Chains A and B, each alone.
Chain A
């Protein structure tokens, strides 16, 4: 039997046994029964944690070298951020070779979508995505991370920096 539009449908191609459903139902039930004895894929989170690799895009952080942050407060990350999560206020100093530094650097984690654009656009490789995926906040104010929370020693970010060097974004000078 053809459908009114004249097109052959899936239903028209079904044989008798498929039409009366019962054998197909039995097949489906056999499949789910087998599944019951497969090992579970659940990771029991608080006890078992996920260990991300360098390609993981977690919470964006600022890279901290021995002599201070890498960021020169150019504001590109703030400009590119699609979620408008970053606020940078530039300051100047004569104490270091790098004269510009961010006086204020804030990322609003309620806005951030972990796209990684800030990292991609940064000319100094000063903002990178970390492996941190456990972000808990008690209120909105707490979710706006200032410099003191963002600055992370470069030693902790080796995986990501390595990944960036060997993959897409980075072009050696």
Chain B
């Protein structure tokens, strides 16, 4: 009893830390840098009026959203209309529950794992499962708004996610085979010392990258919210902070996806070679190693978040049929080929 309570309490504390230390600042930061980077790419200046360099822009954005009137269409299905943004944010946050920010640190005789749910052995499956729940948010939003555009956006998103989920799952089979586990810590440890999966699984990496763009609904796969054709897509009928929650969810997903990419393909929190070079300072459980691992991992997340934003302001949106073609006719077969090649190579090297 006491033990389960302490597990619950540590998980709660860690969740709060990650929520206010990673998720919210990450989302606010990506909103800010999305605007800044888009401005730089387009030879503009970007937000620079609120605070030094405009860094307070996300805060005033949120204030604006909160004081806005919350409009619910008269014919909307009110329960689902209210539920959709909640699901969106929840699923975006849920991925962080298993994300390993570092290995573990030992303070006194207390061992603290640097993730919320310590070393879940089905973490990877959990991430994929949570990712597919997020489609409900968009579908609910589209359906309950009782609006043609929202509905089309919702349908698009549903079919897009179903098509890309498959190749996403399949592209990870290679990673799982190499690591021999679906625990994220295990996968990171298997990539220790620059044995990054991106080198051994380049095809799997590209497929996973493309699929995560599709899963996060970001350009070039942002068909559910294609402004020119669908007004705003699934979020057309949302106002104020409910709309803001979809926005928050989008950036949350983006950061979660960046975290997953770095965990699965770029060695996650592992700092190459330090444990071998300075075993007396950087041993497993050392506080300094733990802090450095978290810093290393957050840097990787930032790099991939930048990549997400950079892609958004470079590539044009896909057409719907091209999107489906790519998903089913290109990525699926490639993912299967990747599995076969990986297993053959592993068999040969056995």
* Residues of A that sit less than 8 Å from B by CB: 22, 25, 28-29, 31-33, 35-42, 44
Q: Which residues of B contact A38 (CB under 8 A)?
A: 43
Is the CB–CB distance between B311 and A36 below 8 Å? no
Residue of A nearest to B311 (CB): A29
Q: A22-B206, A36-B37 are in contact. Are A41 and B44 (CB under 8 A)?
A: yes
Residues in chain A near residue B42, CB distance under 8 A: 35
- 17 more A-B contacts (CB under 8 A) besides A29-B310, A39-B43, A44-B45? A28-B315, A29-B314, A29-B315, A32-B310, A32-B313, A32-B314, A33-B310, A35-B42, A35-B43, A36-B41, A38-B43, A40-B39, A40-B40, A40-B45, A41-B43, A42-B43, A42-B45
For the complex of A and B, list the 6 residue pairs with the smallest distance between their C-beta atoms, beginning with the closest: A36-B40, A32-B314, A42-B45, A32-B41, A40-B45, A29-B314
The minimal Cβ–Cβ distance linking A30 to chain B, given in whole angstroms, is: 9
Task: Give the contacting residue for B44; candidates A22, A29, A40; CB below 8 A.
Answer: A40
- Give the most central of B43, B44, B310, B313: most A CB within 10 Å: B43
User: Measuring CB to CB, which residues of chain B are less than 8 angstroms from any residue of chain A?
Assistant: 37, 39-45, 206, 310-311, 313-315
Query: Separation in Å of the A86 CB from the closest CB of chain B?
Result: 38
Query: Could you tell me the distance in whole angstroms from the C-beta of B218 to the nearest C-beta in chain A?
Result: 15
Determine the distance from Cα of A42 to Cα of B40 in the docked complex, in whole angstroms. Answer: 11
In the complex, what residues of B have CB within 8 A of residue A31's CB? 314
**Chain B residues near A25 (CB-CB < 8 A):** 314-315
CB neighbours of B44 from chain A (8 A):
40-42
Considering the chains assembled together, what is the distance between the CA atoms of A32 and B314 in angstroms?
6
Q: Across the two chains, which residue of chain B brings its CB closest to A30?
A: B314
- For B49, the closest partner residue in chain A by CB is A44
**Could you list 10 examples of A-B contacts with CB < 8 Å?**
A22-B206, A25-B315, A29-B310, A29-B315, A32-B310, A33-B310, A35-B40, A36-B37, A40-B40, A42-B44
The residues of A that contact B310 with a CB separation of less than 8 Å are 29, 32-33
Q: Complex formed: what's the CA distance from A25 to B180 in Å?
A: 34
